[in-house]
Chain A
Amino acid sequence: MISRVADHCFWLGRYLERAESTSRVLGVTRNLALDVGLNPRHVWLPVIIVSGEQERYAEAGQGRTDDGERVQDYMTWDDENPSSIVSSLSAARDNARSIREVVSLETWEALNALYLWMGSPRARTDWREDRHAFYRRIRTSMQSLQGIVRGTMLFDDAMHFMLLGTMLERAGQTARILDVHHHAFQALGSHEVIETALWLALLRACSGFEPFMKVHRGRVSPAAVARFLVVDPIFPRSVRFALRAAVSRFERLRPPDQTDLPGARSAARLTALASWVAALDKDFDVAGLHELLTHVVDETAAIAGVIGSELLGYAPGPAAEMSAQ
C-alpha cells in the first residue's frame, strides 16, 4: 500500500478515536462536577492536561481552569486546539477525503454527515440546550462509524492501518486519563465517598463502568480500577487490550517471519511494550502507577514516530535526497 495512503488511514483511525475519547471525557467530567462538591479546578484542570494542551490553553489567555464552560468550549469548538472535537473531526474528514478511493462510501457519508452537522447551527443549539445529548451524539456517532468501517470495508492493509492508529491512540488515551486523574485524586487527600465517586467517573470516562462491575461485582477500590484499566485482558479499552490489538494489526501488515519487509524497529518496540504491560498483571503495584503510565504514553508516541519513518513515508526518501543534491 502507498505510504501516504497508509498515513492517512493511520491518522483517520487516530482522529476518530481521539474525537470519541474527548467527547466522552467532557461528558463525564461535566457529570462529575455536578455530583461532587469539588473545587471546579480539580475537576476541569485534568481535562486540559489529558489532552496535552495545558501550555496552549494558558497561552490562549484562557488560563482559568476553574471555569468548566471555558474548558468545554476550548475542548469542543476551538479550531486552533488540535485536540478539540471540531479539530479532530475535521482532521479525520480531511484524511478520509484524501483517500476517498480507499474509504468505503458508507464510511465517508457517515463521517461527512457528522462533520456537516458539527458545522451547522443545529449543533450549536444542541450544545446550548442539551449538553449531555450533544456529547452523547458525538460519542455514539463515532462508535457507529467504527462499526460502519468494520462492516463495509475490506479487511486489507487500509483497515489494518486504521485500526493500528485507533488502538495506539486508545492505549495512549487510557493511560493519560488514568494518570492525570490518579494524580488529581492523590492531591485531594482521602475522603472515601468522594474518592469512590471520582474513580467511578473515571471508569465511565473509559466506558468501563459496567464491564468493571461485571468483573469485580461492585467492589470499587483505587487499586482495582487502576489495574482494570491497565491490564485487564478482555476489557477493550484497557491499555493491555489496545496494545495487543495494535500488535495483531501490525503483524497482519508485516508478518514477523517476513524480516525483509520494512518495519523491524516498529515491530520490536511495539511488541516489547505490549509484553511489558501484559507482564504487569503478575504483581500490579499501584504505587508505581505514574512511572508506568508515563512510560506507556511516551512509548506509544515514540512507536507512532517509528512507524511513521519506517512505513508511512516520514523519512526523507530517495526523491528528497536526489533533489537535495
Chain B
Amino acid sequence: MDAATPLLADYRGLPGTWDELFTESGAPRPAFRRAFDALDVHTRAGFAVCQGLAERALLNQGVTFSVYSDQRGTEKIFPFCLVPRIVSAPDWAALERGLVQRVRALELFLADIYDRQRILADGAVPADLVLASKSWFPQLRGVRPVGNVRIHIGGIDLVRDPKGIWRVLEDNLRTPSGVSYVLENRIISKRVIPDVLDAARVEPVDAYPARLAESLRSVSPVDPDETSAVVLTPGPYNSAYFEHSFLARTMGLELVQPADLFTDRDRVFCRTTRGPRPVHVIYRRIDETYLDPEVFRPDSLLGVPGILRAWAKGNVALANAPGNGVADDKAVYPFVPDIIRYYLSEEPLLAQLDTWVCAREDDRRFVLEHLGELVVKAVDEAGGYGMLMGPQATRAEIEDFRKRVQAEPRKYIAQKRLELSTCPTWVEGKGQVEPRRVDLRPYVLNGREGPWVLPGGLTRVALKEGSYVVNSSQGGGSKDTWVQKPEAT
C-alpha cells in the first residue's frame, strides 16, 4: 500500500464494534455512498496535504485551549481529524426526538426538586440519593427562574453500542462546552474538503449563535428588544476562554468578567464608561459555586455578591440556572428513564448504559466483586478524571479503587465497558486511516418556545490506538459531525 492508494481502501472496522461509516462486511453504509465516493477520490498523500492545511488553519485562527499545567499559559489546538463523522437523516430524527424528550423531563425534574419534590415524595426516585448530591443546593429551593427555564443549554453525551443503538453516556446541564469547535470544524471542512461536504448534503450548523442569542433573550425579565444580555467568563486564563470569546463575538454580546458586574437593590448592573447599565440575561460560563460569594463561598473574592438574590427575585436570568448539577449527577443518571416516565408518562426514547450505584448495598457488593470488568466513575468528576477502566487496570489500581468505593460509596457508580463505535480516523504517524472510538455531544437549546437541537454536534475521538477515552485532557481529538438532510420525497 502506498501514498497513491485511495483513502478508504482496505479500511476494516474492529470486530464486535459498530463502525459509523462501514458495515460489518466492509462496505460503506448505503446512506453515505455519495459522501464516500467523494472522500475516496482523495489518495492518502492528497489527504495528508488536506489534513495539514486544516491544522494550520486552526492554529492561525487561534482556535486554542489553554493548558492549566503550564505557567506561561501555553495555548494548544484541539487535535482535529478531517475525516467526518456522518449521521443519516433517519438516525438523526430519532435522536432529536429522544433528546427533546430527555431535556423536557430533566427540566421538569429540576423544577420539582427545587420546589415541592413530588417525585421524591412519591418514591419514583430515591430521595436519599438525590438530596446527597454535592450539586443539590437547598438554599436555592423555592426559586422560580424568570422564563421558567433552567437548562438553557444542554450537552448530552451519546455513544453507540455494537448493535448501532445510541445510548446516553451522561448529561451536561451546567456549563456544557465545545460548541465553538463544532462551528470552527465546519468552517475547516468547507474550506478544505468542500466537494465531499457538498456530496454528503449536510445540515448547516452556523445558525447556532443566533439561535442561542434568541433563546437567551426569550427568557429575559424585560422586553426582548430592551434586553441587555452578556456572556460571563472567569477570564482569559480559563481553558475555555477561546469559546467564551467566540460565542460573545458571534452573538454580538459583550463578554464580561465577574468584577465588571455588581448588584444594587437586587438588580444586576455592568460598570461601563457611561456609568452603570442594567443587565437582564447572563450566559454564565463560570462555575456556580464561584458565582456569588454571599451564597457559596464567603471566603471567595471571585463572583458577583448578591447576584443570586437578583436571580431569585426574577430580575435577571442566569443561563444555565444554578443548581442544575443535581440532575446531571452520575448517581441520578440511572433514574432518568424513571424521571421521563414520571413526568411525561412516556417511554424513554433513548437507551442508557446499565449502571450500578455504589450507594446501594446490593449494587456495591456486585461492583466490588467485579471491579476488574467494570468502569468505575466518580459522580462529581468530569473530563475522564477519577475513573477506573477495570479491564485495562493494574491490580494496584483496582485495589486503590476498592478502598475508595468502600470509603465513600455515594461518590461512585459503575458501568460495563461499552465497545464504543468507531469511525475512520486519520493516523498521522502512519499516513492512513484506522478505526478509532468516538462519542457524540449534541447541543440542545431551550427557551420559552421549548427545546431545539443543533443538527450536528461535537464528535470526540480517542486518537490513541485501543483507547476508550475521548476527552481532550486525555489525548482525544474532534471531528466534524455531518447530519445529512432528509431525502426529498
Q: Interface on A for B, CB 8 Å cutoff? A: 1-6, 94, 97-101, 108-109, 112, 157, 161, 253-254, 261-263, 311-313, 317-319, 322-323
Q: What chain A residues lie within 8 Å of B106 (beta carbons)?
A: none
The stretch that binds A, out of B111-119, B258-266, B447-455, is B258-266
> Chain B 117-142 against A: per-residue CB contact (8 Å), 1 yes, 0 no?
00000000000000000000000000
Interface flag for B272 (CB, 8 Å):
yes
Closest to B244 in A: A101
The one of B235, B236, B254, B275 that contacts A261, using a Cβ cutoff of 8 Å: B275
Rounded to whole angstroms, the CA-CA distance of A89 and B261 in the bound complex is 29
Q: What chain B residues lie within 8 Å of A322 (beta carbons)?
A: 262-263, 305-306
A101 touches B249 (CB 8 A): yes
The one of B60, B260, B275, B305 that contacts A4, using a Cβ cutoff of 8 Å: B260
A318 touches B262 (CB 8 A): yes
With A319-B263, A319-B305: A2-B62 Cβ-Cβ less than 8 Å: no
Q: What chain B residues lie within 8 Å of A99 (beta carbons)?
A: 255
Q: What chain B residues lie within 8 Å of A100 (beta carbons)?
A: 62, 242, 245, 249
Which 8 pairs show the lowest CB-CB distances between chains A and B? Answer: A319-B262, A101-B249, A100-B245, A3-B271, A311-B273, A101-B248, A6-B273, A98-B236
Interface flag for B274 (CB, 8 Å):
yes
Rounded to whole angstroms, the CA-CA distance of A99 and B254 in the bound complex is 10
Shortest beta-carbon distance from B299 to chain A in Å: 12
| Interface size counted on chain B using CB atoms at 8 A | 29
Q: What chain B residues lie within 8 Å of A261 (beta carbons)?
A: 274-275
With A98-B235, A322-B306, A323-B305: A1-B272 Cβ-Cβ less than 8 Å: yes
Q: What chain B residues lie within 8 Å of A263 (beta carbons)?
A: 273
Q: What chain B residues lie within 8 Å of A97 (beta carbons)?
A: 236
The one of B245, B256, B260, B274 that contacts A262, using a Cβ cutoff of 8 Å: B274
Scoring B236, B256, B271, B293 by chain A CB atoms within 10 A of each residue's CB, the highest score goes to B271
Shortest beta-carbon distance from B178 to chain A in Å: 18
Shortest beta-carbon distance from B379 to chain A in Å: 33
Shortest beta-carbon distance from B280 to chain A in Å: 15
A2 touches B274 (CB 8 A): no
B275 touches A109 (CB 8 A): no
Q: What chain A residues lie within 8 Å of B304 (beta carbons)?
A: 319
11 residue pairs from A and B, CB less than 8 Å apart:
A1-B272, A99-B255, A100-B242, A100-B245, A109-B60, A161-B273, A313-B260, A318-B262, A318-B264, A319-B263, A323-B305
Q: Interface on B for A, CB 8 Å cutoff? A: 60, 62, 235-236, 242, 245, 248-249, 254-257, 259-264, 270-276, 293, 304-306
Please name 16 further chain A to chain B contacts, defined as beta carbons within 8 Å, in addition to the given A253-B273, A313-B260, A323-B293, sorted by A numbering: A1-B274, A2-B272, A4-B256, A4-B257, A5-B254, A5-B260, A97-B236, A98-B236, A100-B62, A100-B242, A101-B254, A263-B273, A311-B273, A317-B271, A319-B263, A319-B305
Closest to B72 in A: A119
Interface contact tally, CB-CB below 8 A = 74
Shortest beta-carbon distance from B255 to chain A in Å: 5
Rounded to whole angstroms, the CA-CA distance of A5 and B235 in the bound complex is 12
Shortest beta-carbon distance from B336 to chain A in Å: 36
B273 touches A317 (CB 8 A): no
Q: What chain A residues lie within 8 Å of B242 (beta carbons)?
A: 100
A157 touches B273 (CB 8 A): yes
Rounded to whole angstroms, the CA-CA distance of A232 and B216 in the bound complex is 53
B245 touches A101 (CB 8 A): yes
Closest to A97 in B: B236
A4 touches B271 (CB 8 A): yes
Scoring A2, A3, A161, A318 by chain B CB atoms within 10 A of each residue's CB, the highest score goes to A2
Rounded to whole angstroms, the CA-CA distance of A94 and B241 in the bound complex is 13
A2 touches B236 (CB 8 A): no
B273 touches A108 (CB 8 A): no
The one of B255, B263, B275 that contacts A101, using a Cβ cutoff of 8 Å: B255
Rounded to whole angstroms, the CA-CA distance of A5 and B233 in the bound complex is 13
Closest to B245 in A: A100
Q: What chain A residues lie within 8 Å of B248 (beta carbons)?
A: 101
B245 touches A317 (CB 8 A): no
Shortest beta-carbon distance from A318 to chain B in Å: 5
Rounded to whole angstroms, the CA-CA distance of A112 and B75 in the bound complex is 12
Scoring A100, A161, A317 by chain B CB atoms within 10 A of each residue's CB, the highest score goes to A100
Q: What chain B residues lie within 8 Å of A313 (beta carbons)?
A: 259-260, 271
Q: What chain B residues lie within 8 Å of A311 (beta carbons)?
A: 273
Shortest beta-carbon distance from A145 to chain B in Å: 16
Rounded to whole angstroms, the CA-CA distance of A97 and B305 in the bound complex is 27
Closest to B235 in A: A98
The one of A94, A109, A262, A317 that contacts B262, using a Cβ cutoff of 8 Å: A317
B254 touches A2 (CB 8 A): yes
Q: What chain A residues lie within 8 Å of B272 (beta carbons)?
A: 1-3, 6
Q: What chain B residues lie within 8 Å of A323 (beta carbons)?
A: 293, 305
With A101-B245, A319-B305: A3-B62 Cβ-Cβ less than 8 Å: no
With A2-B254, A108-B62, A318-B264: A262-B275 Cβ-Cβ less than 8 Å: yes
Shortest beta-carbon distance from A112 to chain B in Å: 7
Q: What chain B residues lie within 8 Å of A318 (beta carbons)?
A: 262, 264, 276
Rounded to whole angstroms, the CA-CA distance of A317 and B245 in the bound complex is 25
Rounded to whole angstroms, the CA-CA distance of A322 and B274 in the bound complex is 21
Q: What chain A residues lie within 8 Å of B270 (beta carbons)?
A: 2
Q: What chain B residues lie within 8 Å of A312 (beta carbons)?
A: 273
